[in-house]
Chain A
Amino acid sequence: MITILFIIFFSLLLLVGRERGFKTFLSFILSLFLIILYVRFMALGISAIVLAIITCILSTIVSLFILNGYNNKTKSSFISILFVLLIISIFIIVIGKVSHVGGFSVEELDTVGMYNRDINYNMNDVIVGVYLVCIIGTVIDTSISISSAMNEILVNNRDISSKELFKSGMNVGKDILATTINTLYFAIISGFIGFFMWHRDTSFGYIINYKAFAQVILELLLSFITSILIIPITAYISSKLFKK
């Protein structure tokens, strides 16, 4: 099944995007490979958070520089993403620590309950790492859209000041934001409809404190927050870097 879908995805990409379609496919496969490597290395006992940050940086390099080449746009996106990663990882580590969302809930006893639980690896760190890797896709997407658009503006109007460039970058970001949030909402909520069916008789007060619910809502809100945070940072760094 997966193979057939991969083949169809690949041929459609080639049909619509030609050479660029090929690059897209390559970066998709490499990202998937990085995610799988991430879980493989976690199993070796290396710190989940450190691994997550390395995975994020590598994925950023793969999707930025393979898809868009090495130039001013990708350079400024890369710096902005590193900044956001730094800020948000501290934030996620704190939230992950206080909210105790690591590990599994009772619903998952059927699917993972049979495994040995003495794994000597902290599941709270795992969930922090998962959140970090989760958000990197949308951060890259938003950042490169803004820096490309700003580059386009600069090409059309060489005399634009750094301040005006920052403003147009923010405007582009505002336009993207609505659709990004929409995209994330549906992507994340799609696998979660069943949760409410499972808990069809439980009260709202119980659900809102429930681990599985908190896990998904935190993922949703953290991706929203990072996709907002990346906008001013990319606009600022691009406006400084492009006008240098």
Chain B
Amino acid sequence: MKKINYKLIIMVILSLIAIIFVYNDYFLYNTPILKVKKINNETRESTLHKEEYLDQRITGIIMNGEFKGKELTITNTSSYSQVFDMRIEENTEVFVNLNTNGDFISIQNIKRDKYLIILLIIFIDSILIVANNKGVKTLLSLFINIALTSLAIMIFKRNFRNINMLLLYIIVSILFIVISLYITNGKGKKTISAIASSIISLFISFGLSFSLIKLFGKDLFIWSMEYIEAVHDYQNFFYTSILLCGLGAIMDISITISSSLNELILKNPNIERKSLIKSGKEISKDIVGTMSNVMLFTVFTPVLPSILLAIKDNILLINALNIYGELELTTVLCACISIVLTIPISLYTSVFILKGKEEIK
């Protein structure tokens, strides 16, 4: 009991240090940061707009760089809705563009790094408190996944006209599968069978989605995809997002099935293949429903602001859904199809690997 408290104290101290650090990290940035002290809001008298617009006169102090300590007054226009603009409040910190004399040119951005870091710290602390050692493993595998993702992005960024994005990510996906399943579940037959069934499921289900989109997806309006203009090969860009979307879910189902079948075999080594498959089916029935809902809610909901803006401008709901929701819904449905397909695939693969070796012994 005492040891755990010790860990807790270290954790709290480290978290506090990190939070204090991000609240004072102005020196890390080259762009001048203005800490807002006083704001003068004036309602704009205008017949052009249908909602309240404020002209903000903002006074603050520059926190870093050449003009550190200088008091500066800047202006900002803010609408009530803040669709493309922002309303600045007291104690907000903003990045500003200044000319060489230190005069204000424009507002660049709001300083948001501290909120991201605070959430990150809450996430790390809570996973360590709730899951202890398993939390460490989960964090490690998440960290490696992030590192691999960034590595793939970097490779692609450097040489993005010559590398096939889809092919790159297929290779990286296999690495994702092997590394994360290995870290979180250790060595052993159940990990091997989970890895094998994840890879087989990934190929079969992605192959299906790929050919379905090739066959029937000619009317898909890929240009409405965000950031599409940044990518040279936009077809493969869309396929890549489909490939990655279901990847985590495939791993999830594979490891769930293979570890529960492994458990059953451990309890009763003479269990028949048929009854193994039957119990596996029972277990997996519970997974599909909630997993497909996870995909729907996490992937589809972020398009709602765009749809809202469109229907507010008298676009019919069904048309707005078609423009902004079609690609996301396609991605969600492809992921859901992968989820359903993974169940029989990983059932048979797991039985083959787990039972097959058992008999040789």
Contact = CB atoms under 8 A, between A and B. Distances in A.
Contact of A209 (B110, B138, B315): B110
Interface string B89-116: 0001001000000000000011111011
Interface magnitude class on chain A: 35 or more
B191 to A, nearest CB: 13
A177 B334 CA distance: 24
Given A191-B328, A223-B298, A218 B116 contact: yes
Interface in A121-158: 121-124, 126-127, 130, 133-138, 140-141, 144-145, 148
A35 B226 contact: no
Contacts of B326: 1-2
Interface in B231-284: 231, 237, 240-249, 251-252, 255-256, 281, 284
A35 B115 contact: no
Contacts of B295: 137, 187
B217 A123 contact: no
A16 B116 contact: no
A95 B112 CA distance: 11
A189 to B, nearest CB: 6
Contact of B302 (A100, A134, A229): A134
A187 B299 contact: yes
Given A1-B213, A17-B285, A36-B317, A24 B126 contact: no
A209 B344 contact: no
Interface string A97-129: 011111110011111110111111111101100
A97 B29 CA distance: 24
A133 B157 CA distance: 33
Contacts of A13: 288, 340
A214 B298 contact: no
25 contacts: A12-B341, A16-B284, A20-B285, A31-B293, A32-B300, A38-B304, A39-B317, A100-B110, A104-B83, A104-B84, A111-B224, A138-B294, A140-B294, A177-B127, A177-B135, A178-B137, A181-B138, A183-B248, A189-B244, A195-B227, A196-B157, A197-B160, A208-B112, A209-B113, A219-B298
Interface of A: 1-2, 4-6, 8-9, 12-13, 16-17, 20-21, 23-24, 27-28, 31-32, 35-36, 38-40, 42-43, 59, 63, 67-68, 95, 98-104, 107-113, 115-124, 126-127, 130, 133-138, 140-141, 144-145, 148, 170, 173-175, 177-191, 193-198, 200, 205-206, 208-211, 214-215, 217-219, 221-225, 228-229, 231-232
